Amino acid sequence: MSVRALLTALVAGVVLLGLPRFLGEHHMHVIIQILLFAYLSLCWNILGGFAGQLSFGHALFMAAGAYTSTLLLLHAGISPWIGMIAGGVIAAALGLFIGYLSFRYGIKGTYFALVTLAFTEIARIVALNTPAIGGALGLYIPIQTDDFWHLKFIQKSHYYYVALAFLLVALAVNAWLERSAFGHRLVAIRENEDAAQALGINLLRYKLQATALSAFLTALGGTLFAHYVTFIDPHTLLNMNMALELTIYAIIGGVGTLWGPVLGALFLVPLAEGVRAAFGQSYAGIHLVIYGAVLIGVILFAPDGFIGVLRSIRELRPRRAPAAQSSEARS
């Protein structure tokens, strides 16, 4: 079994590393977006999936990363690799602030979602009206030359490799949550707060830790996003669509699972891109209508997301296998 897993990983690795050789610019663009949003969705998954605290505040955390690193680069010439850490720290601090306000008073579920959404909206309005950080016009990141230290690449494929590395980090963090005491505690909180508390789990402490970790990693993705698109403004980063999209990928793929957010992004990003290419001129925002339809379908027919569907297919299989074996043994 482990040999098979190793082989799968090897093949996947070779395919993923070699992919840029065979794809054009546009396809690379779609794939980079898939990786980036899969990464962001996995970061959301730490708080929204494992700890079960539905957050629409991740657009804010992403923007914190994007703005901090960009401002540091523009004004002080500081490398985005350092800037993203600074952005991560700021995002984590914001997360702790919002989290403390909410969790201290037992706000959870939809109410927590609304609180986080409100903070994202506040941030959008503040950013729109603060000329020092670009206001409504936003900030441009000047394109220089190929420079890894400044996260600037002429070739898209280089962004692809960076995004791929990010995704692997997020997968590793999520895999760790699945296996660690910390992750198990978060799941316990998600499944039943009273029971978790009765068994000695400090709800506030673990929710805040999950928020900080989730916000920090999301901000790193925000920096990468900013440098990939080379332009940030409140309309793209701090709008409700961004807040919803990160959530929807995870929900459709399978909330609180390792591969769910990846599957969600893998399915929805190309779908949105295709729909946008086909109808974007005449029907702006049509991809959101499609998202809505898919979301309704998933909630009705596959409440555990794509992962849930895959699991139930897998569970059906072994039951047949022993029956087949025993009939062979008899003959």
Partner 1 sequence: MSLLVVEGLTKTFGGLRAVSNVSFAVEPGAIVGLIGPNGAGKTTTFSLMSGFQRPTAGDVFFMDERITGLSPDAICLRGLTRTFQIMQSFPKLTTLQNVMIGAYARHTTVTAARRHAMDIMSRLAMVERAQELARNLTLADLKRLEIAKALATSPRVLLLDEVVSGLTPTEVDELVVLIRSIRDDGVTIVMIEHVMQAVMALSDMIVVLHHGEKIFEGVPQDAVKDPRVVEAYLGEELLLA
Residues that bind partner 1 (CB under 8 A): 179-181, 184-185, 187-188, 191-192, 194-203
Rounded Cα distance between 222 and 216, Å, is 10
CB of 8: closest distance to partner 1 in angstroms?
25
Q: Least distance in Å: CB of 196 to partner 1?
A: 7
CB-nearer residue toward partner 1: 189 or 219? 189
What is the Cα–Cα distance from 265 to 23, expressed in whole angstroms?
19
CA distance 146 to 306: 39
CB of 170 to partner 1, least distance (A): 21
Cα–Cα distance between 34 and 274 in angstroms, integer?
A: 13
- In the complex, minimum distance from the CB of residue 185 to partner 1, in angstroms, rounded to a whole number: 6
Rounded CA-CA distance 219/82 in Å is 12
Task: Please say which residue, 198 or 300, places its beta carbon nearer to partner 1.
Answer: 198
Asked whether the beta carbons of 120 and 130 are under 8 A apart, the reply is no
Axis-axis angle for helices 305-330, 260-279 (nearest 10): 120
Q: Which two tokens stand for residue 201?
A: 């789990």
103 vs 225, beta carbon nearer partner 1: 103
Provide the minimum distance between the beta carbon of 316 and partner 1 in the complex, in angstroms, as a whole number. Answer: 17
Q: Which is nearer to partner 1, 21 or 179 (CB)?
A: 179
Q: How far apart are CA 65 and CA 87, in angstroms?
A: 4
Alpha helices in the chain (DSSP H): 2-22, 25-45, 58-76, 80-104, 110-128, 156-179, 181-191, 193-198, 203-229, 234-237, 240-253, 260-279, 286-301, 305-330
Min dist. Cβ of residue 158 to partner 1 (A): 38
Closest to partner 1 by CB, 181 vs 329, is 181
Q: Which is nearer to partner 1, 199 or 299 (CB)?
A: 199
In the complex, minimum distance from the CB of residue 189 to partner 1, in angstroms, rounded to a whole number: 10
Query: Closer to partner 1 at the Cβ: 108 or 156?
Result: 108
Closest C-alpha to 215, from 316, 318, 68, 108: 68
Do the beta carbons of residue 68 and residue 86 sit within 8 Å? yes
